[in-house]
Structure 1
Amino acid sequence: MKTLLPGLLLFASFLHVRAETSLTIYNQNFGVVRDVVPLDLQQGVNQVRFADTTAHLEPDSVILRDPKTGIKLSIVEQNYRADPVTSGLLLNLNEGKVIDFFVREPNKPDRVVKGKIIRSGYVMHNQQAMQRYGSRYYQSQSVMAQGTSQPVIEVDGQLQFSLPGEPLFPALADDTILKPTLDWRIHTDKPAKLDAELCYVTGGMGWEADYNVVSPEKGDLIDFTGWVTLDNQSGKTFKDAKLQLIAGDVAKLQNADARSYGMNEIVAFATANGSRPQVTEKAFDEFHLYSLPLPSTLHDRETKQIEFVRTAGVKSQRLYIYDGVQIDQNRYRGSRMENIRHDENYGALSNPKVWVMREIKNSAANHLGMPLPKGRVRFYRQDDDGRLQFVGEDVIDHTARDETLRLYTGNAFDLVGERKRTNYKSDNGNHWVDETFEIKVRNRKQDEAVEIRVVEHLYRWTNWEIRESSNTHLKTDAQTIEFRIPLKAGEEKTITYTVHYSW
């Protein structure tokens, strides 16, 4: 039975708590923050400072509005500062000045010495340089060249390339900030006291999905679990925030602009326990939006895992694929089809490996049936002692409901393929080529029958015809055929076919 979980179970009393901050994280390393800014405005122009943003805010994405009462807010001017005060920054601001340094040494009394800051050695990060100087200055002046600087301090008339002790700075100047800050000059036509909504795009955060598949010792009915991993490197802690995740390939330019999207129908998934809060999923524009049911705190520099799907009894099909042709990619890179059709060696190389594939139908009838975000799928199988053993992994793309997952988990140890060309004839004057291939597949398992799907690619030319074949085949696309060969334990079979190309 399928179950969607919030990841952390909270007391029922929290169900009615409304988080003032909401956060939508995209699986493309950015997010959208919606915060509440209390405003007490007078008529005319007001100076407002909001010191609780991320360190990776995109300033031109900021939207400040009053969606409740409709009071018009006009931002006359906005300044964004993301260089919070640090020891290095204060050294930089005090270059050329004399300050005190507290010196503590073993077996000596503590003392204070005076030193003049000749050079701070402060390294400005890329984003700080962009914000302070602008992109053109940053690109032309290479602000990051400061990265190799060391501090230079003059003490008693001598220069030293290290701090003599812990710097003791004078009081902070008015323009020094402790956290990333937005400074606004806001105009309003009349006095107003309100909670405005602040919305902006920020970097420094992302999420990804991971899936674990567990198979029993025998059989292919699996347990399927999905996790999301949230990564917050934004420079801000989001306390009791409503978290939402967007899955899909959203177009995101370097200078992003804010867009609004429409919502379609809401699809909620049942839980095993009706009293347990559930993750919900919405079709959102051309993407999918996943909402956590309860507020959650996401600390800065924190990685958080949340289980968002758990289901059992999912049917999977194990496939064995022998795709024996091996193409020298370096030799044929950029080759035209006209050159390939005359190359006798094309497609003559082969490999002996038989792939192990898993197919899983993402449908409600198969205990799934929800849009699955792209991510890594790990496979485990239980051994005869009840322990789980890792047996392969692959990556899926965004997968809609009712589509089929097809995953490669490795090469079969006891299944072998052998492919060789036994005949080649060509007549360039009459525009044709004939090729004959012999393919052997062997099942070296001691007590298990299998079916191997032998895939052949007819890439020499677009017009082809199978003239002779030892086995029936399926035409899977315009230039591919497939033989399905059942093999008993210890059995070997040989397939031969001749293909005729004409142009």
Structure 2
Amino acid sequence: MFISKGQDTKDLAITVYNQNFAVVKDQRSFDGYNQEHLVRFEDVSEKIETDSIIVDGLNIKELNYDHDLVNKEKLLKKYIGQEVQLFDSKTREKDIYRLLSVENGLVLEHLETGEIVLNPPEENLILPKLPNGLIIKPSLIWEVEPKDVDGVHVTYTTGGLRWKANYVIHLNGDTFDLTAWLLLHNESGTNFENVRLKLIAGDVNRVTEEDLIRLPDEPGVLYDVSPPIIEKSFSDFHLYTLQRKTTIKNQQEKQITLFEATGVPFKRYYRLENHENEADIMLKFYNSEDQNLGMPFPAGKVKVYSEDEADGSLELVGEDQINHQSINTDVELNLGKAFDINCDNRQIDRYKQGIYEYFEYQYEIRNNKGEVAPMNIAHHIRHRHWEMVESSHAYDKVRSDEIEFNVDVPANEEETINFKYRVDTSTTIKVR
């Protein structure tokens, strides 16, 4: 049998998707291969998907994946009925025993006296060499058609690798600085040394059972800020390529700079959804090159910091989760609830007149801040056939069942919005 190890790798490339899987491309030399019928291809991922394997360079007649890795229980069972040694820590001598059972503890029989020893200290048990049939690392076993070959190129899909984006924003007046990080997790059971790394952002359709992978409780994150990353469109997704090789160890979390931006203008406003009393603090910016951005944002968590002018320290002022965001689009972040802005909204009248039913609403917004509060008030109308009768403020019809008011409420003042609309009850269909 010819054995190919990870140290024979000439080129290793991995493309990680943010759906908990990756594609591994492993190119190895086959120095010393002498047309053997069997090949053991070691150092593959423990979570390899065996139906995804592509082998270039050999004609495979049969493929097996051996991943029943050695552990203490399996090893001991291999020696049942066999001779083992037991070390006496007091006399410093070794005696020969026969291992009778490993169920619910060890049972040994002394070969000379026949005495039975129950549950001796396991650290005092000495076993002969590793028996045949036990595997110390996951391997592919191929039955091949022998031929001259210099190397092979193996491609496969594996679970246990995933990535996500994290963003940190530092507010500076009416602009902000942004650092985008990618956080890469390797729980594949395998180290990947000196690898060319790519990442795909987007949702690739897969016909598999979802692999639920638990995040470590206290991850040890390795930060890597040096390698630049190049982004481009790839098919209907976005592809990020690390511009140098890296090593991804098993059970490691690696954090790498994705991109950075400075002086990005933003708008802060306050949003009231239908009938809410507390306003959401919203931060909005446009993702374009002329706004010092223009990079696709993979889905991820955004943390926003602002500086305390008293001592210059940064304080967290909000956190939000974003979906994939393409370029030349608005990005909005919800930073939390505004402490000093309150709203009292109510239906003040409702009556019928002929075929029409009339609805009248009032929003009283109180701004206790020492500065103007730009407000966005969304009101949902649960009727399809309606028309506005009167309104104290201009409004936008953003959908068939929703209107919005954009109002600047002066510092330490109150603004009242009144409006009335009617519904044609002869044709009305409620929107649920």
User: Normalised by the size of structure 2, how large is the TM-score?
Assistant: 0.85
* Shift in Å, 1:41: 5.3
1-structure distance, mates of 2:24, 2:42: 14
User: Is contact 1:101–1:115 with CA below 8 Å preserved after alignment?
Assistant: no
* Change beyond 3 A, Cα 1:501–1:299: same
* Shift in Å, 1:174: 3.0
**Cross-structure match for 1:123:** none
* Shift in Å, 1:165: 4.0
**Cross-structure match for 1:200:** 156
* Change beyond 3 A, Cα 1:115–1:442: farther
Secondary structure, counterpart of 1:252 in structure 2: coil
Secondary structure, counterpart of 1:476 in structure 2: strand
User: Is contact 2:170–2:304 with CA below 8 Å preserved after alignment?
Assistant: yes
2-structure distance, mates of 1:352, 1:323: 9
Higher RCO structure (Cα 8 Å, ≥6 apart): 1
**Cross-structure match for 2:259:** 309
- Which structure has the highest helix share of the two? 1
> Runs of 5+ in structure 2 lacking a partner?
1-8, 211-225
**Cross-structure match for 1:209:** 165
Structure 1 residue 226 corresponds to structure 2 residue 149? no
Structure 1 residue 354 corresponds to structure 2 residue 279? yes
* Change beyond 3 A, Cα 1:494–1:162: farther
Secondary structure, counterpart of 2:290 in structure 1: helix
* Shift in Å, 1:371: 1.4
Structure 1 residue 417 corresponds to structure 2 residue 343? yes
Secondary structure, counterpart of 1:89 in structure 2: helix
2-structure distance, mates of 1:481, 1:19: 61
2-structure distance, mates of 1:370, 1:400: 7
User: Is contact 1:324–1:417 with CA below 8 Å preserved after alignment?
Assistant: no
Letter paired with 1:387: S
* Shift in Å, 1:88: 2.4
Q: Deviations over 1:215-243 (max 9, x none)?
A: 02xx2200011001111111111111111
Letter paired with 1:168: I
**Cross-structure match for 2:3:** none
* Change beyond 3 A, Cα 1:103–1:457: farther
Q: Deviations over 1:98-152 (max 9, x none)?
A: 5334454xxx3345463634235xxxxxxxxxxxxxxxxxxxxxxxxxxxxx445
* Shift in Å, 1:95: 3.9
> Runs of 5+ in structure 1 lacking a partner?
1-17, 67-72, 121-149, 257-275, 326-350
Q: How does 1:161-200 map to 2 (within 5 A)?
A: 164-188=122-146, 191-200=147-156
* Change beyond 3 A, Cα 1:177–1:433: same
**Cross-structure match for 2:198:** 244
* Change beyond 3 A, Cα 1:437–1:166: farther
* Shift in Å, 1:249: 0.2
Give RMSD over aligned pairs. Answer: 2.4
**Cross-structure match for 2:213:** none
User: Is contact 2:274–2:380 with CA below 8 Å preserved after alignment?
Assistant: no
Aligned counterpart in structure 2 of residue 33 of structure 1, from 7, 24, 28? 24
Structure 1 residue 23 corresponds to structure 2 residue 28? no
Q: Deviations over 1:420-469 (max 9, x none)?
A: 11112247xx65432211110011012x112211111112x111111122
Structure 1 residue 456 corresponds to structure 2 residue 379? yes
Aligned length: 395
* Shift in Å, 1:36: 1.8
User: Is contact 1:324–1:418 with CA below 8 Å preserved after alignment?
Assistant: no
Letter paired with 1:485: V
Aligned counterpart in structure 1 of residue 99 of structure 2, from 85, 93, 116? 116
User: Is contact 1:21–1:241 with CA below 8 Å preserved after alignment?
Assistant: yes
Secondary structure, counterpart of 1:254 in structure 2: coil
Letter paired with 1:89: K
* Change beyond 3 A, Cα 1:152–1:495: same
1-structure distance, mates of 2:88, 2:300: 53
* Change beyond 3 A, Cα 1:167–1:482: same
Letter paired with 1:36: Q
* Shift in Å, 1:162: 7.3
2-structure distance, mates of 1:92, 1:364: 65
1-structure distance, mates of 2:34, 2:109: 52
Q: How does 1:77-476 map to 2 (within 5 A)?
A: 77-104=62-89, 108-112=90-94, 114=97, 116-120=99-103, 150-154=104-108, 160=118, 164-188=122-146, 191-216=147-172, 219-254=173-208, 278-325=228-275, 351-384=276-309, 385-426=311-352, 432-446=356-370, 448-459=371-382, 461-476=383-398
- Which structure has the highest strand share of the two? 2
Percentage identity across paired residues of the two chains: 31
